[in-house]
Structure formats: C-alpha cells, structure tokens
Chain A
Amino acid sequence: MPVQYYIFLSIALFCIGVMGVLMRRNAIIIFMCVELMLNAVNLLLVAFSKMWADAGRVDAAGAQIFVFFIMVVAAAEVAVGLAIIVMVYRNSQSVDVNIMNRLKN
C-alpha cells in the first residue's frame, strides 16, 4: 500500500483543522481544531515510521518517540489553554475570540 494514502489523509485532516480554526469563533472549538491538526501530523509521523522500518532503518522508532513528545506538548498546552479560556469566560461571559480584540489596545 503506497504511503501516499496516509499523506493525503493527513493533509485532509490538517486542512479540515485549519478550516475550523479560521471559520469558528468559539475558542474551545478552535482549540479542538488545533488538536486535530496535531493529530494529523502524528498520523503522518507514524506512517513514515512504518515506511522506514519496512525499508530496514533501525532508527525508525524515533518518529514514534516524536509522537510521544507531541502528545506531551499537546497535553501541556490543553492544560494551560483551557485555564486561559476559563479565565476569559469568567471575565467576559463569552468564549468568542472576537471579544478578545481587546488585544488591540
């Protein structure tokens, strides 16, 4: 099975994530779309790991380790990000990102 299939799937998932980030204004949904993008990348890494392992490379497991690290970062990010969202909600009773154009000043 060509590895291209996985590449195309990953691209599709990633672009759906991008679309979500661009289209939605709910901060939590945007956050989830970011998670989706991360997972698209993870999937691609694992596919390449398999590809190189099949080709006989011994260090192919490194790609899977990389996925672990991405999970670590994602988990940390969610912890902080959700805290921020909760905080924003507490202050403005909304999770609309456009409310946050207070960044302007």
Chain B
Amino acid sequence: MINLVWLVPLLPLLGFLVNGLGRRYLSKSLAGIVGSGAILAAFVISLLMFLEVRTPGFQAVTVQLFDFISAGSLHIPFAFQVDQLSSLFLLIITGVGSLIHIYSTSYMHDETSEGFARYFAYLNLFVFSMLILVLGANYVMMFIGWEGVGLCSYLLIGFWYKNTNYNNAAKKAFVMNRIGDLGFLLGMFLMIVHFGSVNYAEVLPQIAGVAKGDGTLAAIAILFFVGAMGKSAQVPLYTWLPDAMAGPTPVSALIHAATMVTAGIYMIARSNILYTLAPCVQNVVAIIGLVTAVLAASIALKQDDIKKVLAYSTVSQLGYMFLALGVGAYTTAVFHVMTHAFFKALLFLGSGSVIHAMGGEQDIRKMGGLKKYMPITNATFLIGCLAISGIPGLSGFFSKDEILSHTFAANKLLYVVGLLTALMTAFYMFRLYYITFCGQFRGTHEQEHHLHESPGAMTFPLIVLAILSVIGGYVGLPAVFGAPNLLEHYLHPIFAASAEKVELHEMAHSTEWLLMGLSSVLVIITIFLARNWYRNFTDNGEPRTGIAKVLENKWYVDEIYDAIIVKPLGMLSRFFEEAIERSGIDRLVNGVGRGVQWGSQQVRLLQSGQVGFYIFAMVIGMVILFVIGFLVR
C-alpha cells in the first residue's frame, strides 16, 4: 500500500485538472462528485496506509518518483516520505478535507456552474499542494507544497474576485506569506551550504550530530521559523489571516483553520531536532507563540463578525501550538493540531451554516435566538465551543491541558499567561455562542422568515466533526489518567532524536491533577460569566469606548502597519516612479528609440539602389577586414 502513496496527491491533482479544464462543461453535481470523490478516495488510501504505518516498529519509507534537481553534489529527488508524522497529517488533511468538500457541494450551490467547478478545482489543487507539503521527503518538496498552498489560499480568498476588498485581502495574504517564504528559502539555502542536502533522511541525522547551541543551526532555525510565522499567522505576520475570511466559509474552515495554517507547525515538528539543538530559538518560538495567543484572544473578545471571532481564535490557537513547540512538547503540538482541526473546522462549518441561513449576514449583533430554528447546527456548534474551551472530557481539554502542563514545567510565568489565554478563549467562544444562538432574534423579518436548518450535506459533516471533537482527545490521554498515550507512542520515532537530547520535565501527578482541576474550574466559571452577560444580549448600538474600542479595532495593528510600512513604501515607490522610472529609464528608452530613428533616416540614404555601389562597399569592407586581421596578427 505504501508504494501507492503517489496516488494520494495524484487524485486531487486529477480532480483539479478535470474540474479546472472542464469548468464550462461540467454540471454542478458532476463537479461536486469529481471534487469530493477525489479527496474521498485519497482519504481511503491514506487510511489504508495509516493502518500499515501504525504497526509498531514501522520504519519510514521513501518512495522516489524521479530526480528533481541534480547539480554537482546536490541531489534533490522528487520523493515522498511516508512515516508516522506525514501519515497522521495525511489523515487530517484528507479526512477533514473530504468532509469540507461534501459540505461545500451544498454551501456553494448558489454559484454559477462555472464558478462551482472553479471552486472545486481550487480546493482540489489546495489539497494536492498540502499533500505534497506533508509527503515530501525533503525541504524543497515541502517548499513546493508550501508555495502551492499559498497560491490556492490567494485564489480562494479572492474567489469572489469582483469585490475589490476581497481582492485586497487576497493580495495581503499573498504578500505576507511571501515575507515568510523568503525566510524559509534563505534557511534552505543555508542548510544546503552547510549540510549539502535537504533530504530529511540525510540532513536530520547530520544535524543531530551538531553540538547544542551551534550558531548556524540557530540561524537556520530562526529563518525556518520566519517562514512558519508567515504561513501559520504568528506575530508580526498574522494580520492576513483574519482578512482571509473574505473567502467562502468552507475555505476558511479547510485552509485557514484546519490545514494550511498548521503547515508551520508541521515544519517545526519535522525539524524538531533542529529546534531542540537551538534552545534560544526555541525560546523565541515559545514567546512569539504566547504573544500571538494572548493578542489574538484579546482581539477576539470584542469582534462582532462571526468569522472574525473564529479567525482570531484560530490565530490564538496556532500561538498555543507554537508555545508547545517552544517548550519542546512536539507530540502535544501535533496533538493540538489534530484536535484543533476537528473543532475549528466544526466551528467554521457551523458558522457557515448560520451565515447560509441568514442569507449572507455575518454580524452576530443581528442574529440571536437561532437555537430553535437550527437545532443541529446549535448542538454541534455548542460541542465545538465546549471542546475549544477545554471542558473536561472533550478533545480540546486534553490537548490544551497537556500544553499548559508542559508549559508549567518549563516556565511558571508562561503558564500563567497561557492559562489567561485559555480563559479568554472560553469567554469569547461562549460570548459568540450566546449572542448567536440564544436570546431574541434581532435581524429583519425577512431574514427570520428565511431561517431554516441547513440541508443534509451540510449537517452531516457537522455531526461527524462534532463526534470527532468529542472523542478525538482520547488518542492522546495524558499520563496521569493511567491509560497509554497512543499518540505519543505512535509519534515516538519522529521525535526520538530530540527526546534523547532533552529530557522533558516530568511532573508529579498530583501537581498535574491540580493544574487540570484549576483550569477546568476557572473555565467553567468563565463560561458562566459569559452566559450571564450575553444570554440576553441586546444591541444598544452605542459605540464602544476605552479598551473595548481598542480591542474592536484590533489594537490598531493594521493601522500601525499601514503607517510604518505600507505608507513609506508607497511614498518610496511614487518617488521611484517619478524620479527614476519616468525621468530616468523612460527617457533613456525613448532616447534610444529616437536615436535609432534619426540614425536610420541618415543611413537610409546609403541604400541608393546602385548595384555598383553595393559591390564597391563590399570590397572596401573586405579590404578593411583584411587590414585589420593583418594588423592585429
């Protein structure tokens, strides 16, 4: 089965080609079947492969398709590497991906059939790129996928390209990602210069042999992390992700919550040994992650757009994952990627269902009381909220709690801030829930009349994801529960080298129980707080003041970026346009053109039509050539 791994990315690619090339001819149902079927088939193959990879003692398999770059001593094959980490990511991508594809067949039904097929083509291309990213056996392959998902993200954010704001959001995402990509690329170059290879199988053992704290390793690690910052929306490159909500909601669920943004996590988990041996960079990762988590969570407290809340929540959760990576808890980070994929996809799809019912309305102040109109969406959304908040027993609880306990072991201050973030998470999620689903309906009568539960193709993925959000945590039970931690055991080969170098801080079980109890109690208190404040929310229309206003405006980060970077850059560009482009290069080019024109006017007279003169000129030329040859010799 492993040898068929090339089928996994190939199927989405075929789906992309069929839908992309045949978008004018395919009917909607056919495009939907092709798009969803390709991903579903890929999921089945991934599942079969996973069953093989799961067996204890499985060694990583590299399937080489062809030589991609071969120059001098540098060999970069186009190869796939199947191991525990990539196999797990395959399952997440194709699994959540196929659910979202199914959901999309219904959600996007109002599109024209050409737009519908185009949508599925982009979505399939995205899945293809993401699979290349996680399956690649070297950093160059990862980079190909990395760029591919960036492109698809751009295309899908600007899917409704007739809207200028959406296009601007797409461009913003693209440019910010480019900044990060440059870091990744530079890191890769440094790696090639230093280790002469980018293949995981060759370069990672080499890195493991380098002494801890080596300067080059730190440089590579920090450059890679810059790449991860761009892709996974960390401070200071996070502002594109909330704007990326301009795309269709299933896209936000798939790309900007469940899969693409976790590429940074995947990269660092893949190069875990690099970060283990560069402790200073690891600290940077932890601090950046935590800052992102707090900042985004605080912004989410006062957002009124249902998707914006979820977007900032995603940024915040990604910050969490980086915090985990930063304290060396790689398994936990991957665990949180998985659980987060479940409940964040669920929440986004739930919000999509709400938006669908509200006829495109995204402002939660105009919703309310949707509970009785949309029972399934309500129930699943509630489960998502409970999971992300970390209510004991649900998936989010286990992963988040593990991150917090590892953080506690590493640094108490980080733990306090992390816990604060968890409480803010619970607060804004339940604020969102109560404002949207409880109280009185605050929209227009027309909207109220139109309210309905979404069709089966949309509720089915919601139910599946809700189930996964509940039970997904049990694969990674913390040690205190006595049960074996399946995930840690499964991923052990990937992180074995790091584990040898650094002993994770072990804690007494009593401490761990205490921390768990503390966070659970605090979260539940916070939820009740949110319930009391927002259960009967009424929109009084008063503008916010003080700190609330600052939060509503996202700490004015966009404005600050605009003033510090965008404006001076624009001024510089205008200066260049005036001073260099118009009066320098343009004049030069026009001058050359005019000179040639004038010269040819003069030379034209030589073309007299006198054959004798032509021959004469030829002979003279020959004589001159001979003389030159004679003299030069």
Contact = CB atoms under 8 A, between A and B. Distances in A.
Q: Do A's and B's CB atoms come within 8 Å in the complex?
A: yes
A104 interface: yes
Contacts of B619: 18, 22
Contacts, number: 24
A101 B615 contact: no
Given A18-B619, A22-B619, A104 B607 contact: yes
Nearest to B622: A18
A25 B608 contact: no
A102 B609 CA distance: 7
Contacts of A97: 611-612
Nearest to A15: B619
Interface in B602-618: 607-612, 615-616
- Count class of interface residues, chain A: 10 to 19
Interface string A40-74: 00000000000000000000000000000000000
B609 to A, nearest CB: 3
Interface string A61-105: 000000000000000000000000000000000000110111111
A103 B611 contact: yes
A21 interface: yes
Contacts of B609: 101-105
B608 A101 contact: yes
A100 B616 CA distance: 16
- Binding site secondary structure of chain A: helix
Most buried by B among A25, A98, A105: A98
A104 B609 CA distance: 4
Contacts of A25: 612
A105 B607 CA distance: 10
A104 B614 CA distance: 12
Nearest to A104: B609
Contacts of A101: 608-611
Contacts of A103: 609, 611
Contacts of A102: 609
B610 A22 contact: no
A104 B607 CA distance: 7
A98 to B, nearest CB: 6
Contacts of B616: 22
A100 B612 CA distance: 10
Interface in B108-136: none
Interface string A4-38: 00000000000000100110010000000000000
B605 to A, nearest CB: 11
Given A18-B619, A22-B619, A98 B612 contact: yes
Contacts of A104: 607-609
A98 B616 CA distance: 13
A22 B615 contact: yes
A85 to B, nearest CB: 13
B607 A100 contact: no
B610 A21 contact: no
Interface string B482-521: 0000000000000000000000000000000000000000
A9 B615 CA distance: 23
B625 to A, nearest CB: 14
B615 to A, nearest CB: 6
Nearest to A22: B616
A18 B619 CA distance: 8
Contacts of B612: 22, 25, 97-98
Contacts of B610: 98, 101
A22 B610 CA distance: 12
Contacts of B615: 21-22
Interface string B588-614: 000000000000000000011111100
A21 B612 CA distance: 8
Given A22-B616, A22-B619, A100 B608 contact: no
Given A18-B619, A21-B615, A103-B611, 7 more contacts: A22-B612, A98-B612, A101-B608, A101-B611, A104-B608, A104-B609, A105-B609
Interface of B: 607-612, 615-616, 619
20 contacts: A22-B612, A22-B615, A22-B616, A22-B619, A25-B612, A97-B611, A97-B612, A98-B611, A98-B612, A100-B611, A101-B608, A101-B609, A101-B610, A102-B609, A103-B609, A103-B611, A104-B607, A104-B608, A104-B609, A105-B609
Name the 10 nearest CB pairs between A and B, nearest first: A104-B609, A101-B609, A97-B611, A103-B609, A101-B610, A22-B616, A21-B615, A18-B619, A100-B611, A97-B612
